[in-house]
Amino acid sequence: SLPDSTGSMNGVDMLKVYCSHPHLIVQLKFCKQENCRRFLQSYREGALQKSLQNHLQCSLAMAPVPLEMELKAGSEHLDNMLKDEERCLECIYREKPDRLRDEEIMELEECLKSLTIHQSINNNVAVKGYAPLKPSSLPYPCQDGSLLPQATFSFQGQHFDNRTITLDDHQKFAKLVSKKWKQVGRSLQRSCRALRDPVIDNLALEYDREGLYEQAYQMLLRFIQSEGKKATIARLIAALEENGLISLAEEILGLHSNEDCS
């Protein structure tokens, strides 16, 4: 669908695919301004959504496929300004990506190439040249939003699965970290390019009116979206320990409940 919308197989790159149920967030990088213009036109006219629905209908063997789309560049909602193409291009240009293409994308593309496409629900005849895809080979989260644990880490003498950060972890962090979210962000910053200066200070200014919860939530969201499966609970707990937020770490790991963290 993306080559269809940009007029070129090399017109756009997918940098990352991030699953946050019920949303699927795809981060894109356009190779030329003309490709971006064509994409915006395709999106504005509904051609991109129609193409996606058609491809999903074929690969999922279901019809119709419900699909809602939203286009953003940073914090800007481009759906509200689609008629002003130059403004959209300006917003997109300001958000030039500062990270490389995620290694999971290549794996995902290979999985999609081998996906079995059924010609119909009744006969289940696979298209020649396609092999069945084993669900276990897809780099998708489990039902609770976390990937299968690959290792363990130690905290206060106990061992925990080093899973990815869940929505529950995310919300607890934002609710309880208070003013120290910046300190935690700077600890994460050392191994996360997406949080490098001046990102943290910019987030503080951008979400100042929304308060500390939203500032902390957006900081950790930036970390999760940038790091993908590498956004593990061990990295978050280490950052909390470094900044003396032991109670919050215990709360996230379920070691106690109903206690606020300072």
Give the model's pLDDT for residue 119: 39
Q: Domain ranges in the chain?
A: 1-94, 152-253
Strand 72-73 relative to strand 76-77, pairing: antiparallel
CATH code assigned to 152-253: 1.10.533.10
- What is the model's pLDDT at position 78? 93
What does the alpha-carbon distance between residue 57 and residue 78 come to, in Å, rounded to a whole number? 27
- Residues 193-226 pLDDT 10s: 899 888 999 999 999 999 999 999 999 999 999 8
CATH number of 1-94: 3.30.70.680, 3.40.50.10140, 3.20.20.140, 3.40.640.10? 3.30.70.680
Q: What is the DSSP letter of 20?
A: E
Alpha-carbon torsion (23, 24, 27, 32), positive or negative: negative
**What's the CA gap between 185 and 180, in Å, rounded?**
9
Query: Above 90 in pLDDT, residue 141?
Result: no
The tokens for 261 are 């963290």
Q: What is the pLDDT of residue 27?
A: 85
Mean pLDDT confidence for 107-115? 70
> Distance (Å, rounded) from C-alpha 179 to C-alpha 213?
9
pLDDT for 122 beyond 80? no
Q: So what's the pLDDT on residue 150?
A: 54
